[in-house]
Amino acid sequence: MKRSGEAGFTLVEMLVVIAILGVVLLAVSNTFISSSRTTTLAVARAELQQETVNAQQLIASRVKEAWYVFPPGVAMALNDTALRRNPITSNKNWTVATHPILAMILPPRNPALACASATNDGCYRFFAYYPVLRSVWVAGTSGASNPGADAANDASTWVLAEYRDYYYESNPSTTSPASLTLPPIADSDANLVSDYIMPTTTAGATYTMFGYTPATAATTGVTGVNINLATGRVVNGKLTRLPGQTGTYNLSVYPLNLGKVAAN
């Protein structure tokens, strides 16, 4: 009597099955990794875009309120600390329109108050917006102002900062525009406005961060400001730059309080 054959796998068949499973698992793993990277890039793009647009809106709100906008050609030295260092010259010196800086004077929040350190709502306010090399900013800040080290981007991207102070010792409304200076720096603040700003000097992708109208603004005064920003970040070894490889997000804004003396 013949014995019925027993079902089973030979060693060769088992090796073939293991090999097939290995290929399937590798394909699934690669698909998962690719999907994860795609998701990470999509999230990074959305965050970069939103933060940059928010920064433009913040700056635009200041410009709309401005009593005076420093015109092209004005030289200013913010001070010699790292958080106010010009990333192009690597020092404290800035020139409006030559370097990416926007500076302005805003009227008092409450003109009924006398200007003093205890009642600074009665003082004219100085604001400046400018970039700082990301690695310099990270090394010089702490707490909420520090975005955290990012080895893939620290040396190649900027952050956008806001510098603010009060005119305690002088009244800009009684000073000729040509004689206007920066307020003393003792009580000034430097705040982080936006992270991962692309340098204006990158070869093949240069741009002007702050533009001024009219064309004669250097001599006739500023009546409009163009805010142009580009953002970018290396994620998973790939640079994501927005908007596009050479473009900028553009916003034009016009001051509403130019030369208007605050009423007491």
Predicted confidence band of residue 191 (pLDDT cuts 50, 70, 90): very high
Q: Where are the domains of the chain?
A: 17-253
Global confidence as pTM: 0.83
Span of 26-35, 41-50, 105-114, 156-165 with lowest mean pLDDT: 26-35
Q: In this predicted model, which residue has the larger pLDDT, 225 or 264?
A: 225
Using only the alpha carbons of the chain, give its radius of gyration.
28
Predicted confidence band of residue 243 (pLDDT cuts 50, 70, 90): very high
Torsion, CA 13, CA 18, CA 21, CA 23, rounded to 10:
-100
Q: Give the whole-angstrom CA distance, residue 249 versus residue 51.
A: 12
Q: What's the pLDDT tens digit per position in 132-149?
A: 999 999 999 988 889 999
Mean pLDDT within 33-54: 79
